[in-house]
Amino acid sequence: MTDASQLSHSFYPPELGDHENYAGDEQYLHTSPQSFSLGDGFNQPISTFGMPYVPDPLDGLEISRSGSFPLHPGDCARVQDIDWDKLAIVWFRESVRNIDVDLPPLPLKLKKLGEPFCKLTLPPSTLTLDHLESVRLRDKLHINAEEGAANWLRQLTGEDKSATTKKLGIRIALALQDNATSWMLATAAALYWRVVGRANHAISCLRQALRYVPDADRDIPLVNLASLLHRAGLYNDALRVAVTAVNHAPNSGITYFTVGNIYTSLGDTEKAIAFYRGALKLRPDFELARTRLNSVLCSFLLGDFPAKTGP
C-alpha cells in the first residue's frame, strides 16, 4: 500500500508545499494576541481557485492560498465547547445532498427478521475500488459501532427519532429485495452496518452503490466510503477515495472538507487548512468547514489544543 508520505507528496503541488511560502504563517502566529490570521498575504480576497483536471486523482490538485480567515483567542474556547455530533448531522446532510430513500412499511407479520445484506455478486473492478487493499480485505476490518450514524440513517430515510435501527434495517432489507440495484438503498444499508459496527458489510454495500450510482452522484458513496475508512484509521485509502470524490465533484465543498478531515488526522496541518479553505471558497456559508478550520488553527496557536478529526 502506498505510504502516507508518498500520497501526500504526489497529491500536493510543489508550489503549494514549499515551506518558504509559509514563512508568513510564523509571523502572524507570533503577533498581536488580539487577532490572528494565517499569513502570506491572506488579507487579499479569494480570487482564483485551481480545479483539478487530471485522470489520476493522486496527480495533484491546485489549491488557492489567498483569502483571510482571522482567528481571535476566544474562538478557541468556543471550539472546545462545540457539540461535534450535532455538526456531524450537517456534514451528512451535505454529503447526501438531501436525497431521501423511501422505505416500505413493516408488514404486520414477518416470517423472518432480516438485515440489509448487499448480496449481488460483483466482479472486481476499479469502478468498485477493488484496487484498494481495504476494500479487497474488508472481511478483516473491524470498526466500533457508530451510534451517531443512526441519526444519519434516519436523516436519509426521512424517519423521526422513534424509528429504531433494527426496524430501519428490516425495511431496507425488504426494499433491497424488490430493487437490488438501487444505489440509494445500498448507501442506506451501508449506514445501517456502520451503526451496528460491521465494516465488511458496509463496504460491500458501498461497492454495490458505486457499481450502480449515476456518475453525477458518484461522490455520495465515495464520500461515505472515505469517511468509513477514516473512522477505521485507514487514512491512506481514505485519502485516495476522498480525492477521487473531489475529482468527480470538483464544485462540491463537502469533498474538499472530507479531504481536509483526513489530512488533519494525518497531522498534515498545512494541507488540511488548504482544503478547509477550498471548501469555504466553494461554500462560504459552510459553517462546519469554518469551525474545523478554526479548530486546526487553534491547534497551531496553542500547541496542545486537540484539533477535531473524523467526519
- Find residue 36's DSSP bridge partners: 71
Give start and end residues of each alpha helix (H) in 30-83.
73-80
Residue type, 305: F
| Cα torsion angle, 144, 145, 151, 157, sign | positive
What are the structural domain ranges in the chain? 1-97+253-311, 101-213
Residue 30 is predicted with a pLDDT of: 29
Looking at the chain, how many residues does it have?
311
- pLDDT value for 51: 31
pLDDT tens, N- to C-terminus, the chain (311 residues): 433 333 333 333 223 333 333 233 322 222 233 333 332 222 222 222 333 332 233 333 443 444 455 666 677 777 776 766 666 666 677 777 767 788 888 777 776 778 999 999 999 899 999 999 999 999 898 888 888 788 888 878 888 888 889 989 999 999 999 999 999 999 999 999 999 999 999 999 999 999 999 999 999 999 999 999 998 999 999 999 999 999 999 999 999 999 999 999 998 888 898 899 999 999 999 888 888 888 888 877 776 556 666 55
Measured distance CA(86)–CA(133) in Å, rounded: 32
Q: What is the DSSP string of 225-252?
A: HHHHHHHTT-HHHHHHHHHHHHHH-TT-
Position 197 scores a pLDDT of: 93
pLDDT recorded at residue 44: 27
Q: CB of 198 within 8 A of CB of 141?
A: no
**DSSP-based three-state secondary structure for 275:** helix
**Torsion sign across C-alpha atoms 95, 98, 99, 100:** positive
* Helices 84-95 + 219-231 axis angle, to 10: 150
Distance CA 260, CA 295 (A): 12
Q: How far apart are CA 227 and CA 152, in angstroms?
A: 13
Dig out the grid coordinates for 18 from the structure: 514549499
Rg (alpha carbons) of the chain, rounded to whole number: 20
Q: How many CA atoms lie within 13 A of 41 on its CB side?
A: 7
Find cell 484539533 and name the residue: 307
pTM: 0.74
In the chain, the amino acid numbered 225 is L
> For residue 142, which amino acid is it?
H
145 by Cβ neighbours in 10 Å (0-12 / 13-18 / 19+) ranks as: middle
**Three-state secondary structure string covering 125-163:** CCCCCCCCHHHHCHHHCCCCCCCCHHHHHHHHHCCCCCC
- Closest by CA position to 273, among listed 254, 255, 259: 259
- Provide φ and ψ at 159, rounded to 5°: -100, 160
41 contacts 24 by C-beta, under 8 angstroms = yes
Residue 18, C-beta contacts closer than 8 angstroms, at least 6 positions apart: none
DSSP labels, 257-301: HHHHHHHHHTT-HHHHHHHHHHHHHH-TT-HHHHHHHHHHHHHHH
Output the pLDDT for position 7: 32
* pLDDT on residue 310: 58
Beta bridge partners of 71: 36
